[in-house]
Amino acid sequence: MCRLMAYIGPARLIADVVLWPDRSIIKQSYDARERLQDPSLPNHLGFGNLNGDGFGIGWYTSDELRERDPTPCMYKSITPAWNNENLARLSCKIISPLVFAHVRAAYPGMPVSEQNCHPFQWGRYLWMHNGVVGGFSKIKRRLLEQLSDAAYNSIQSFHSDSAVSFAVFLNHLPDLVQQQSPDVLVNAMQAAISTICEVQDAMGVRDISLLNFVVSDGSTLIATRFVRPETGNNLVGSSVLCEASYSISYRERGAHVAFVASEPITGSTTDWVCVPKNTVLCVTREKGGFLSMLQSSVSLSRVPDPRLQEVSSCLASIAQGMNTKSRAWVTRKNGQQQQQQCASQQGAADPFAQSPFHALKGDSAAAAAAAADVAAGSLMDGLLGLSRGAIEPETVSMEEEHLLTGHAKAVLALVVDEPSGRLYSSSSDATVRAWGLADMACVAVIRGHSKPVTQLQLLGGRLLFTAAGGAVRVWDTSSFVCLAKIRTSFYSGAIRSMLVTGDGTIYVGHQDTTVKKYLPISAAAAAEAAGTAGVPFSPRATGAGAAAAAAGSVRQPDAQTVPSSGHVGPVNDLVACSSYICSAGGDTTVRVWRASDLELVRVLRGHRGSVLCLLAVGSMLLSGSRDNTIRVWDLDLDFMCRRTLIGHKDDVVHLDALGLSKSGGTTSDLARAYSGLAAGLSPGDAQLAAAAAAAGRTPSPAAGVMAAPVLVASASADGTVRVWGSNWTCLRCLACGSQDQQLVRALKEFVAIRSVSANKALHDECLRGAKYLSRLLEALGAEVKLAQPYEGKNPVVLGRLGNNPAYPTVAFYGHYDVQPAEEPDWQTNPFEMTAVDGYLCGRGTSDNKGPVLAFIYAVKEMLDCWRMAGAAAPLNVAFMFEGEEENGSLGFRESIEANLGWFSDAVLVVIANTVWVGENKPCLTYGMRGMVTASLVMSGPQRDLHSGNDGGVFSEPMAGSCINHISLLSIYAGLWPSVSGPQRDLHSGNDGGVFSEPMADLVQLLGSLHGPGDQISVPGFNNAVRPQLMDLAWQGLAHSEEFSMQSYREAIGVPQLTAPPNTYDLLNKRWCSPSLSIVDIRTTTTGGSSSSSSAAAAAGSGLREYAHKKHGAAEAPSFAGAGGADDRSCYRFGPTRFSVIPKVAVGKISLRFVPEQDHQTLIECLQQHIEKRFKLLWSANRVELQVHLMGDWWEADLRSQRLQVHSVGDWWEADPQSQLFQMAERAVRREWGEPPLYVREGGTMPVASLIEKMLGAPALMIPMGQSSDNCHLANERLRRINLVKGKNVSF
């Protein structure tokens, strides 16, 4: 028997559908699998044989091109398809949205010629046939007599029964030229089959006819499976199941592609729908490029067939819905082209879709629809201040709240278990993932299905039902063990919808238009079917069903809809409503069934597109459709449509109820949520809601209004969620979320402000950041002031909330400026916060915008709590947020000193500008090192020289020693050893070797600072270190796995650590020992001056003033490019600069010192060492040590009842026995469930001691971020749960 295949969908390479699938029609031409093996059929039909008597392919161009020329193109040949090179070449170059392919097996007496090869074409139509017209030689003349001249002239071969059948079809069209509607094509196909059968009856023909026709006009595809008389053999082969490379990809909210094939071209039975005998299938396009697949029985009676009328009515509704305009929310970036490219490169990931003889459909349960399940759980806290003033409410832009990664393919369904705080997601990768809503971490990966998991449903929070392909599995949510498996069918297509009632009864809706009912099975059968002992999902049992489940075979349903009354399209959704089961169909209808036996009760019509979702609210049934509308049906009033809700601008993909019946909320929570809706609800609604909330029950429906719950949420493909009140008025488009969600959204907005203080071009952005914080503080009711003592510098945002002298005042410090984000390693846009796997990624999320907003929202929650209690907060709050922290903090001291009255009564300053020591355990920081950074400037010749000409004949600055002065500048900047030589840069070829080169001198000096094992060689550098600084921190870290030497080494990316090989000594080296680091070496080309001081000044012209850093050495800017000289000036002889001897070489040194050490003593030790070493070089260059920064170690004494500074300098150390630290520990323990680790930091934060001195109040450092937050580096991030819990700890 011949084989045919038709494809309709997005334009793609013909090779994707004709050549490359393992079970492609080309392979079927010599290895057809599904033979009926029926001796009652003619030999060439009933038994296996080759299809080698020719082939043909036909294809249509794009819609735009078909407007000018609607005719298709064809390629035919009488050679075997498997051996035709031209077919392979053409198929790899032609892209088409609709393809016909046919391989031929000529029956005896039929000529082998191209005229007899399929498909046949006339005008805009393509036609092909798989089968035979019984007694064709006897009825051919009578058939021809009935044809019009135009239909007669269309016959391409009078030998072919297929060509004549095509003419009979054309004869029943009202016009052969004009485009016809899908229902006209369906009726013409019905009439053609009726005509053939009538002529056979008139001529007394009793031979078997297989009228499997496929026809298309380029837009609609019509296919039939018709057998007369029926042979009784309705089986399909199964040997195809062993092979499959291509498979369905489930993507959006409906079928995008469909195949019609004689036998499957993929290996999974659930990819295909076996079209029943004597059925006509119509595949047509809906709005948005989706495909509607409707089927009806073929009627030979002249009396109008009800099912055919049903299809015609549905097609008319779909045609009207095509005119509905939609607004895409997510821009599809040339989606068709992407699919074509994907198809040509990755055949195994092909997004196919289903249709008949076998029908393959590309279906997907909308992820966007399922997202409303998530929204439903949180909207109760977020629907604050709703207004119904205008007809069209204000639309709040939908933003990505968080991104969870882990699924390898598209996410198809979501369900939330609020009591357990879990989110379940299913995917095309055949897995289900369980996520914790608190930390957004993956709790478990559930495997067992082999097909995309399209449906999820929870029952009682303990059982999770999943549907994939044609199978349903039941899982225990505590152990994630599979308790039962039900195989629903073969060749019925994937399960499109699933409903589980309270007693465990399962209803499933299939692609094949049926609804099936399965009663629960017994415990023993469930355990046996799952392959493991487990808890049954219901105590009820049915013998046959239990046996089938245990055997793993197809289980017959306990009830099923009958085709004569069922849908004529796929079943998209199911919902229980009173004693009914309601189904949403792709045929534009909603059908109401009796739950007990699935007998049809009523058909609800009115939609102009596929019905995608349903919701039962009391006696009301809501249906959402592809026509952008929601219809409200009253089941108590004879299923009357009470209201049509409009407003969405694209498909309505999900409906959910928001009210007191939702699980997971307490009565007080619900009362608080409902009390906030007073502005959005009518007075009656508000009173009803408030009374119900107080009683802890769902409100009863008032006359003419919605039954409980009070609110309905609808999600649309236009990207919005609309909330509807009890009188069906849209209250708002997408309300805001909870306090935590608001915090995350605020951080997203804050990160988008590019407040890079070091970049003068972004000064306006920094001002935006200051104003953003000002607005937030003003919204709290705070008095706000912007202090800017220096023009051109970013202002300090000061805020004061409350001035009651009887109350204590707590101050918060933070900064709103950020580091540049120019590293090429960023995986996301640094100024567009992205939430991935529980982390908020973007510049400033951890340093320091996230902690700043956490402070503000903590205060907001505190005020809300006291306000709800009817009292004022017994606390004053002060805020100081600077905008130059990353660029020297110039103006911060002056701003605070000029406004000390705002902070004079502060008893505590809270700072969150440090990080944890590890990843998992919260910390409290109780000590930090001090810091001095300096520069060593080595000056030589007056200009840079050529290394070849002049190298080696003079003392080079990079290798020189100190001759002249060392200047100490008591400002916050850096230690810069600088060696100066000639007055200008020289050419190494012309001048090298005739003088001391500054770079060589500097390198020797810097090399003298460290000895073997990286030990510091500066005499006296390790003196005066207080012993036992690590004792407090080691008490918590000694038995903790939070810090690992191996992980630390790998994290910093070094081959070996120089510290002693144990954790204690390593941390002691990092936190409690002085260090000396060479952090940079630079050269300058600023010519014209021979003075070493002027050269050093030129070198330092681009230096930023010190910004207190918390992660290591203060980072002085590069000479060139940080203001002053052009970045490229030092590379004027080429980027590699191999030929230039610099006149000045500067090395940057960072000193870290610890409690009891004196920074002045350390500088003197360094100065003496440099002078001594420089004299040994006998260099004529000049060396200069410039101290640009001094930030002493910082330590606090908390042995009294409050933090106090007790030592010289700015170091800080805390005693955990103090009252403040005990309070902080309790807050951390309460929020994280474990005590914090007490840690020190090797970095320096002079601002802490500066604030302590100015305000006379101790500082308390509460780290929020983890050690892997990448502050100052690419891919900076902050874990979402750290942000939220950090806010709660502050609160």
CA 172 to each of CA 311, 518, 649, 862: distance values in angstroms, whole numbers, following the listed order: 18, 44, 39, 77
> Could you tell me whether strands 954-958 and 1144-1153 are parallel, antiparallel, or unpaired per DSSP bridges?
unpaired
Instruction: Please state, as a whole number, how many other Cβ atoms lie within 10 Å of the Cβ of residue 1016.
Output: 19
Q: How far apart are CA 448 and CA 35, in angstroms?
A: 32
DSSP calls for 423-475? EEEEETTSEEEEEETTT--EEEEEE--SS-EEEEEEETTTEEEEEETTEEEEE
Q: Is 237 exposed, middle or buried (0-12, 13-18, 19+ CB in 10 A)?
A: middle
Cβ(1113)–Cβ(1150) under 8 Å? yes
Cβ(589)–Cβ(605) under 8 Å? yes
Q: How far apart are CA 1195 and CA 1156, in angstroms?
A: 10
Cβ(7)–Cβ(98) under 8 Å? yes
Phi, psi at residue 1159, to the nearest 5°? -65, -35
Cβ(781)–Cβ(881) under 8 Å? no
Sign of the Cα pseudo-torsion (285, 287, 289, 292, in order): negative
Q: How far apart are CA 881 and CA 795, in angstroms?
A: 9
Q: How far apart are CA 299 and CA 301, in angstroms?
A: 5
**Where in the sequence numbering do the catalytic residues fall?**
2
How does 531-563 read in b/e, with b if 16+ C-beta sit within 10 Å? eeebebbbeebbeebbebbbeeebbebbbbbeb
CA 91 to each of CA 88, 146, 247, 1086: distance values in angstroms, whole numbers, following the listed order: 5, 39, 20, 66
E-strand ranges in 1039-1142 read 1075-1084, 1140-1141
Cβ(267)–Cβ(243) under 8 Å? yes
Cβ(860)–Cβ(739) under 8 Å? yes
Q: How far apart are CA 198 and CA 187, in angstroms?
A: 16
Q: Evaluate the omega torsion of the peptide bond into residue 824 and state whether it is cis, within 30 degrees of 0.
A: no
Cβ(486)–Cβ(540) under 8 Å? no
Residues 6+ positions from 1226 with CB-CB distance below 8 Å: none
DSSP calls for 477-500? TTT--EEEEEE--SSB--EEEEEE
CA 479 to each of CA 432, 462, 536, 664: distance values in angstroms, whole numbers, following the listed order: 14, 10, 13, 21
Per residue, the 3-state secondary structure of 300-324, as one string, reads: CCCCCCHHHHHHHHHHHHHHHHCCC
Angle 136-145/161-171 helices, nearest 10 degrees?
30
Query: 3-class SS at 15?
Result: helix
> Could you tell me whether strands 906-911 and 422-427 are parallel, antiparallel, or unpaired per DSSP bridges?
unpaired
Q: Which helix (H) or strand (E) holds 897?
A: helix 892-898
- The amino acid at residue 1208 is V
Instruction: Please state, as a whole number, how many other Cβ atoms lie within 10 Å of the Cβ of residue 1044.
Output: 12
Tokens found for residue 288: 């948005």
Secondary structure letter of residue 248 according to DSSP: B
Q: How far apart are CA 217 and CA 1289, in angstroms?
A: 67
